[in-house]
């Protein structure tokens, strides 16, 4: 057992439900107690979804836990089949069904006999995988299922399209800015003369999955969801994939370069000419995206050497780290992720770009690390935003888990060239607001705040005398925390328990010498 207040990634069935409800006409049935269909609330409120979320619970109550579900799950499947005629019903295990050790496969086999819809159990182990891994796995499972079937039935068309085309894999409901990213990716591909073959799972239809291999290649914008599917398609159907996330100017260029290489492998045969994106990239970088110019402008000069802390999922944390370090000259003191399962990749990506890499699911560890570093800005999830609020450091939200305000109706992609503009705004606004705040402090604008240490830890056996405290209050806010900390460190080193004005001065003398 572990004591937990907060989790970054949700439980497995959330991931499965995200993938299932992203597809068109797929219904997920959860084998769960009353109240576990909370996913519907999240989707309906956060995404402001107009339609009923195609997820229902086959309710586990006292009777079920005592004598098993028996016919209940099967009846619920048949009922959904009749009422809504979905193409596929995904029977989703939850912690409850895994503890009850009910044989979901058996339910599925029996229900399939009578139902028009396909029925399949989601193949995820509740205790071993989290939301993201489960989503990745479920997507691969569905794709594999339909491709295998098409192959068996001989309906699989393995010829590639005449013009270059690509699949976009991994856009899903409740994904961070996924809808906007998808639009931007489509634009990026379109401008490069590549048509989009299919987008899965969001808005995808199972009937067309068999045509997935007709694309020239796959793109996987996010590492968390879709990579397994891309690897499967590469292995079984020889489809290459681009897994570079086109976030930031240099990675977008890298993405296009990889794409170029893949496309040209076919283009030289099919189109009898090679495509060249060099001009496109140059034009976009210089003029469409403002980010390159932005990092050259005076504004960005002021950011040089400023310190930041980054935390989020592997994709976003790694990309933002690269952008901050390489494209804006900001010093990244710590860059971490909660995707423990992908730690190796993450470490490799941010190698040499940051001082510390917290890979943890414990938000208090993240909070303490940030408090210790005292960066000028934080880029993280909603949790880091609140950590920032408590220690008075501005925060830009770059990754799930997020709130409803991170599902903006306006166009806010993180990917592609428009994405670079959005990210530039986000970075600049975070730092700028911090500067303004400090200027106000310097000129005594609202210097009525109580003295606070910028740390979250509660252990304090040091005693500040009232004179020392009022002396501390005279120090401008933006260095006050640091001076307080230095003084306390000095006091501890010298076994002083009461901090007087003299101790403060002594500490200052020591640190300046």
Partner 1 sequence: MKMLEIPTFECETGNYHTFCPISCVAWLYQKIEDSFFLVVGTKTRGYFLQNALGVMIFAEPRYAMAESEEGDISAQLNDQKELERICLQIKRDRNPSVIIWIGTCTTEIIKMDLEGMAPKLENRLGVPIVVARANGLDYAFTQGEDTVLAAMTHRCPDYNSYAMNLHKQDAIKDNADSTVVKKSLFEKCKLNNYNLVLFGSLPSSVASQLNSESKRQSISVSGWLPSQKYAELPALGEGVYVCGVNPFLSRTATTLMRRRKCQLIGAPFPIGPDGTRCWIEKICSVFDVEPNGLEERENQIWKNLKDYLGIVTGKSVFFMGDNLLEISLARFSIRCGMAVYEVGIPYMDKRYQAAELLLLQQTCKKMKTPMPRIVEKPDNYSQVQRMHEPKPDLAITGMAHANPLEARGIDTKWSVEFTFAQIHGSINARDALELVTRPLRRKNDSLLGCSSLSKQTIRS
User: In the bound complex, what is the minimum distance in angstroms from residue 91's beta carbon to partner 1?
Assistant: 15
For residues 137 and 128, what is the distance between their CA atoms, to the nearest angstrom?
12
Helix H or strand E encompassing 439: helix 416-442
- Quick one: which of 98, 178, 163, 135 has its CA closest to 10? 135
For residues 317 and 390, what is the distance between their CA atoms, to the nearest angstrom?
22
Cα–chain center distance at 167: 20
Query: Which of helix, strand or coil describes residue 75?
Result: helix
The region of 30-38, 147-155, 208-216, 294-302 touching partner 1 under the rule CB under 8 A is: 30-38
Establish if 459 lies at the interface with partner 1 (CB under 8 A). no
User: In the bound complex, what is the minimum distance in angstroms from residue 29's beta carbon to partner 1?
Assistant: 10
Name the residue nearer to partner 1 (CB basis): 39 or 255: 39
User: In the bound complex, what is the minimum distance in angstroms from residue 311's beta carbon to partner 1?
Assistant: 15
Residues 6+ apart with CB under 8 A from 455: 368, 371, 372, 391, 485
Q: Say if residues 139 and 229 touch (Cβ distance below 8 Å).
A: yes
Name the residue nearer to partner 1 (CB basis): 389 or 482: 389
Name the residue nearer to partner 1 (CB basis): 132 or 424: 132
Residues annotated within the binding site for substrate are 434-435
State which of residues 59, 239, 249, 424 lies at the interface with partner 1 (CB under 8 A).
59
Question: What is the per-residue binding string for partner 1 in 191-210, x denoting contact by CB under 8 A?
Answer: --------------------
Query: Which of helix, strand or coil describes residue 464?
Result: strand
State which of residues 17, 22, 56, 167 lies at the interface with partner 1 (CB under 8 A).
56
Establish if 60 lies at the interface with partner 1 (CB under 8 A). yes
What angle in degrees, to the nearest 10, is found between the helix axes of 477-493 and 416-442? 70
State which of residues 109, 128, 446, 505 lies at the interface with partner 1 (CB under 8 A).
128
Give me 296's structure tokens: 């050259």
The region of 54-62, 152-160, 242-250, 256-264 touching partner 1 under the rule CB under 8 A is: 54-62
State which of residues 182, 309, 324, 383 lies at the interface with partner 1 (CB under 8 A).
383
Residues 6+ apart with CB under 8 A from 502: none
State which of residues 5, 113, 352, 513 lies at the interface with partner 1 (CB under 8 A).
5
The region of 31-39, 332-340, 430-438, 445-453 touching partner 1 under the rule CB under 8 A is: 31-39
Establish if 14 lies at the interface with partner 1 (CB under 8 A). yes
DSSP category for residue 286: I
Residues 6+ apart with CB under 8 A from 378: 308, 309, 310, 311, 370, 384, 385, 387, 388, 393, 394, 395, 396, 430
Q: Which of 87, 123, 299, 437 is catalytic?
A: 299
For residues 475 and 484, what is the distance between their CA atoms, to the nearest angstrom?
10
Residue 103 annotated as catalytic: no
Looking at residues 64 to 123 of the shown chain, list those that interact with partner 1 (rule: CB under 8 A). Answer: 65, 76, 83-84, 94-96, 99-100
Cβ neighbourhood burial of 123 (10 Å; 0-12, 13-18, 19+): middle
User: In the bound complex, what is the minimum distance in angstroms from residue 383's beta carbon to partner 1?
Assistant: 8
User: In the bound complex, what is the minimum distance in angstroms from residue 24's beta carbon to partner 1?
Assistant: 11
Looking at residues 153 to 192 of the shown chain, list those that interact with partner 1 (rule: CB under 8 A). Answer: none
Establish if 453 lies at the interface with partner 1 (CB under 8 A). no
Establish if 307 lies at the interface with partner 1 (CB under 8 A). no
Cα–chain center distance at 247: 13
Establish if 127 lies at the interface with partner 1 (CB under 8 A). yes
Establish if 62 lies at the interface with partner 1 (CB under 8 A). yes
Establish if 492 lies at the interface with partner 1 (CB under 8 A). no
The region of 51-59, 218-226, 272-280, 333-341 touching partner 1 under the rule CB under 8 A is: 51-59
Q: Say if residues 28 and 20 touch (Cβ distance below 8 Å).
A: yes
What is the torsion angle, in degrees rounded to the nearest 10, for the CA atoms of residue 343, residue 347, residue 353 and residue 355? 70
Q: What is the total count of residues that contact partner 1 (CB under 8 A)?
A: 53
Residues 6+ apart with CB under 8 A from 96: 31, 32, 33, 36, 60
State which of residues 57, 89, 168, 182 lies at the interface with partner 1 (CB under 8 A).
57
User: In the bound complex, what is the minimum distance in angstroms from residue 58's beta carbon to partner 1?
Assistant: 8
Residues annotated within the binding site for [4Fe-4S] cluster are 36
Q: Tell me the residue ranges of DSSP E strands in 377-488.
A: 377-380, 395-397, 463-464
Active-site residue list: 299
- Residues in the site for partner 1, rule: CB under 8 A? 1-7, 10-11, 13-14, 32-38, 40-42, 44-45, 48-54, 56-57, 59-62, 65, 76, 83-84, 94-96, 99-100, 126-128, 383, 386, 389, 403, 458
């Amino acid at each position: 057992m572990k004591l937990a207040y907060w989790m970054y990634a949700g439980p497995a069935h959330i991931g499965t439900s995200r993938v299932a409800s992203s597809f068109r006409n797929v219904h997920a049935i959860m084998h769960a107690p009353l109240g576990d269909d909370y996913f519907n609330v999240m989707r309906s409120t956060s995404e402001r979804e107009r339609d009923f979320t195609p997820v229902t619970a086959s309710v586990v109550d006292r009777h079920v836990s005592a004598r098993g579900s028996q016919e209940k799950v099967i009846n619920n499947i048949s009922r959904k089949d009749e009422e809504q005629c979905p193409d596929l019903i995904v029977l989703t295990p939850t912690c409850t069904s895994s503890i009850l050790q009910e044989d979901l496969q058996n339910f599925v086999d029996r229900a399939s006999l009578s139902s028009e819809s396909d029925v399949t159990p989601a193949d995820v182990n509740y205790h071993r995988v989290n939301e993201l891994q489960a989503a990745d796995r479920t997507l691969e499972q569905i794709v594999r299922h339909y491709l295998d079937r098409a192959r068996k039935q001989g309906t699989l068309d393995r010829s590639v399209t005449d013009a270059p085309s690509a699949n976009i894999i991994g856009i899903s409901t409740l994904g961070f800015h996924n809808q906007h990213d998808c639009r931007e990716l489509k634009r990026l591909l379109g401008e490069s003369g590549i048509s989009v073959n299919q987008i899965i799972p969001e808005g995808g239809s199972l009937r067309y999955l068999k045509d997935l291999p007709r694309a020239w290649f796959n793109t996987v914008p996010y590492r968390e969801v879709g990579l397994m599917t891309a690897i499967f398609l590469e292995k079984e159907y020889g489809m290459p994939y681009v897994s570079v996330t086109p976030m930031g100017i240099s990675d977008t260029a890298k993405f296009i370069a990889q794409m170029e290489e893949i496309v040209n492998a076919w283009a030289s045969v099919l189109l009898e000419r090679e495509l060249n994106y060099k001009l496109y990239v140059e034009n976009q970088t210089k003029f469409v995206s403002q980010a390159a110019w932005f990092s050259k402008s005076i504004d960005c000069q002021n950011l040089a050497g400023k310190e930041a802390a980054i935390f989020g999922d592997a994709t976003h944390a790694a990309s933002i780290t690269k952008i901050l370090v390489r494209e804006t000259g900001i010093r990244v003191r710590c860059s971490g992720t909660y995707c423990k399962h992908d730690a190796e990749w993450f470490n490799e990506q941010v190698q040499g770009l940051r001082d510390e890499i917290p890979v943890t699911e414990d938000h208090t560890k993240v909070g303490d690390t940030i408090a210790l570093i005292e960066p000028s800005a934080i880029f993280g999830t909603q949790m880091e935003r609140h950590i920032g609020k408590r220690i008075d450091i501005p925060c830009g939200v770059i990754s799930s888990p997020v709130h409803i305000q991170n599902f903006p109706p306006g166009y806010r992609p993180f990917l592609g060239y428009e994405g670079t503009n959005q990210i530039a705004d986000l970075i600049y606004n975070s730092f700028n607001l911090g500067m303004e705040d400090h200027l106000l402090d310097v000129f005594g604008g609202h210097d009525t705040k109580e003295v606070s240490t910028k740390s979250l830890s509660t252990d304090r056996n040091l005693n500040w005398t009232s004179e020392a405290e009022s002396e501390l209050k005279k120090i401008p806010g933006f260095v006050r925390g640091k001076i307080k900390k230095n003084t306390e460190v000095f006091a501890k080193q010298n076994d002083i328990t009461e901090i007087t004005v003299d101790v403060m001065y002594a500490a200052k003398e020591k640190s300046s010498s």
